[in-house]
Amino acid sequence: MGSATLFRIPVLLLLGGAVMFVSNRKHLLSMLLSLEYMVLLLFLIIFYYLMFMQYESYFSLVFLTFSVCEGALGLSVLVSMIRTHGNDYFQSFSVLQC
């Protein structure tokens, strides 16, 4: 398998994740799952690139740390939204209501 195919498949999967992120805009949970899918694919692309260019892979650990923080932040927003509004629909609350 060539190096062009090695980078092309994750990029196509990433674009598919972006389409799913845009199409699931009504529920916060499905948007967060699509976002985590895209973050994991970005990690895979970065890891492939660092291994292909024979660089150190410490940056991938920093990226994973930030992605875990992003996931925890998204989950806390989801929990606070469900506690205040009862569901994760974006249409059920108003921005002016804060």
pLDDT in tens, 70-97: 999 988 988 888 888 777 776 665 654 5
Give the pLDDT confidence of 13-63 residue by residue, as tens digits: 889 989 998 888 788 888 888 999 999 999 988 888 888 888 888 888 899
Structure tokens at 41: 């694919």
- What is the reported pLDDT for 65? 92
- What is the reported pLDDT for 59? 87
Fold of 3-85: Helix Hairpins (1.10.287)
- What is the reported pLDDT for 9? 85
First to last CA, the chain: 53
Residue 32: CB atoms within 10 Å:
20
- What is the reported pLDDT for 2? 64
- What is the reported pLDDT for 83? 83
Kindly tell me the burial class for residue 79, based on how many C-beta atoms sit within 10 Å of its own C-beta (0-12, 13-18, 19 or more): exposed
- What is the reported pLDDT for 93? 59
The predicted model gives 3-10 an average pLDDT of 76
Helix-strand-coil split of the chain, %, nearest 5: 75, 0, 20
